[in-house]
Amino acid sequence: MAGLLGSVFLLVLQTYAAPPEFIQVWPSASTSGPGLLANETVTPSLVPPPGTSKHTPHSIIIGVRKGGTRALLEMLDIHPEVAAAATEVHFFDWDENYSKGLEWYRELMPYSYPHQITIEKTPGYFTSPLAPARIRAMNSSIRLLLILRDPAERVISDYTQVYFNRLENHKPVQAIEDMLVRNGALNTRYKAIQRSLYDVHMRNWLLHFPLEQIHIVDGDTLIRDPLPELQKVERFLELPPRIVASNFYFNQTKGFYCIRSDGRERCLHESKGRPHPPVNSTVLQQLRSYFRQHNRNFYRLVGRTFNWH
């Protein structure tokens, strides 16, 4: 991956924090940073609104993949004192030139006012062996948000996303049972299963951060009744209570809550909430049995329980 050229303006993706009238194209540059290919077309940057600045985030949604990270970020973006990053960064599990990347990372954050907190979400951080130490090195007092779902359901959602992505790209697909089972036994090396070993990954984070700095959002509850979970996040981030019940409405067609704010209504992307494939009951039971002890271990680590099977 190409190194950074410190003397050249870095081009960033449009964020939620600046209104359209501040859009301006920076002079063209051929530089690239983590996640940008050298020949990739870069989105125009923004002239900062007066009184705003860019900086590393005050809080990061660290995961978990298919746990509801996008829903959580978009729901928090309702809050007037939140500036949400528009793109996933995958910076803290990046292998090259880490020490040179913090400036690039800051440039991908939204413009924010002094009274706002900046939040970034990259769900791969939770399972990254590198991310905890690197995030701590950047900001040892940062507040971390971790959103989790029933680990077996998360595995099925993980498979579903990959399945549809492969279909859209005209690639061959396998039945979920063929991914979950090898030679008659549960395929515990399957990456989707590895991502759901919450206790294993949590131990790594607790080596670098006290539990008090990690707020766990119940992703299953967020889907059913978002407001109570978001109010807990407001308190954890020490935000004034601004998110209210009228910010949400249940979309009968989609089968989940959508967002209402600033006179607009919006739902998550159509790729969210896709129906899960049916799973052989014996295989599903194997999966749930495998996670049972890992779940107990996780409950002990975090001092609370969840309604996971």
State the catalytic residues.
Answer: 66
The reply to whether 134 sits in an annotated binding site is no
The reply to whether 273 sits in an annotated binding site is yes
The reply to whether 124 sits in an annotated binding site is no
CA angle 229, 235, 241 (to 5 degrees): 85
User: What single DSSP character describes residue 256?
Assistant: E
The reply to whether 66 sits in an annotated binding site is yes
The reply to whether 99 sits in an annotated binding site is no
Contacts of 202 (CB under 8 A, 6+ apart): 298, 301, 302
CA separation, residue 10 to residues 14, 101, 104, 188 (Å): 13, 11, 7, 42
The reply to whether 219 sits in an annotated binding site is no
The reply to whether 264 sits in an annotated binding site is no
The reply to whether 3 sits in an annotated binding site is no
DSSP letters spanning 187-211: -TTSHHHHHT-HHHHHHHHHTTS-G
- A 10 A CB-CB count for 192 gives 23
CA angle 94, 100, 102 (to 5 degrees): 75
Phi and psi at residue 169, in whole multiples of 5°? Answer: -100, 15
Distance CA 109, CA 60 (A): 11
The reply to whether 70 sits in an annotated binding site is yes
The reply to whether 253 sits in an annotated binding site is no
The reply to whether 274 sits in an annotated binding site is yes
Binding residues for 3'-phosphoadenylyl sulfate, as ranges, are 66-70, 149, 157, 257, 272-276
Binding residues, as ranges, are 66-70, 149, 157, 257, 272-276
